[in-house]
């Protein structure tokens, strides 16, 4: 158990993160801000990294993967334009932190992670934190989670050469998909895709980003990703 003083320190860190890193950079969605205030990020990073849980940057979580910078998590979640109660798909569970943020807003979150040790650890952390509406699968994320489709929101937390067709088809009409896309496994453009009809997808550029590579059948191959 953590002491009350430690809990208060983390709570203060969360509030400062929301004020300085999120509101200070233009995040305005109150559902997103409230979720970011509530989810204990320190529980989703290795114990030796907890002192840096609310720092303005990504942190290593093992298996060559990272937990994204808080601002990026907030930006991608805000871009989904969730109102509450939606069915959301996340590709790249990592530590489970972004899934917890989504689970604070959405009705159900289905999250897919290709690295088994991360999937197992994230499922345990999400369960321990009471997120019974977040479901974790160890699988090739580029193929999505077809049997639970369609999704009002899809967020991909790794960069691929293009939006996988499987994910496009699992997006509900009117739904939104947010993903880093680029010709390099290391540098991408964050894009927002809106499915406006069965066969029409409209894309918006949200800025330059840098994510780990999206590896899988409809993403980068192991060798091409430099892994």
How far apart, in whole angstroms, are the C-alpha atoms of residue 156 and residue 167?
9
68 is catalytic: yes
Tell me which of 68, 184, 186, 196 is the catalytic residue: 68
How far apart, in whole angstroms, are the C-alpha atoms of residue 143 and residue 222?
16
How far apart, in whole angstroms, are the C-alpha atoms of residue 110 and residue 114?
14
φ, ψ at 126 (rounded to 5°): -60, -40
- Is the preceding omega at residue 150 within 30 degrees of 0, hence cis? yes
Burial of 197 per CB tally in 10 Å (0-12, 13-18, 19+): exposed
Burial of 9 per CB tally in 10 Å (0-12, 13-18, 19+): middle
How far apart, in whole angstroms, are the C-alpha atoms of residue 95 and residue 46?
9
Q: Which sequence positions are flagged as catalytic?
A: 68
């Amino acid at each position: 158990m953590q002491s009350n003083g430690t809990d208060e320190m983390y709570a203060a860190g969360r509030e400062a993160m929301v004020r300085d890193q999120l509101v200070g950079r233009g995040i305005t969605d109150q559902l997103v801000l409230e979720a970011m205030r509530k989810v204990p990020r320190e529980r989703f990073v290795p114990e030796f990294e907890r002192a840096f849980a609310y720092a303005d940057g990504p942190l290593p979580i093992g298996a060559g993967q990272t937990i994204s910078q808080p601002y990026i998590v907030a930006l991608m979640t805000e871009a989904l334009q969730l109102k509450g109660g939606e069915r959301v798909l996340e590709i790249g569970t990592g530590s489970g932190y972004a899934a917890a943020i989504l689970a604070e807003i959405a009705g159900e979150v289905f999250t897919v992670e290709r690295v088994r040790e991360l999937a197992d650890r994230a499922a345990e952390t999400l369960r321990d934190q009471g997120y019974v509406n977040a479901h974790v699968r160890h699988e090739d994320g580029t193929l999505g989670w077809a049997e639970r489709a369609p999704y009002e929101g899809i967020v991909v937390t790794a960069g691929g050469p293009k939006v996988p067709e499987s994910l496009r088809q699992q997006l509900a009409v009117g739904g939104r998909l947010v993903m880093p896309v680029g010709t390099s496994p290391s540098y991408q453009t964050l894009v927002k895709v809106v499915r406006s009809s069965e066969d029409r997808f409209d894309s918006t550029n949200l800025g330059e980003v840098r994510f780990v590579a999206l590896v899988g059948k409809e993403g980068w191959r192991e060798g091409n990703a430099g892994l």
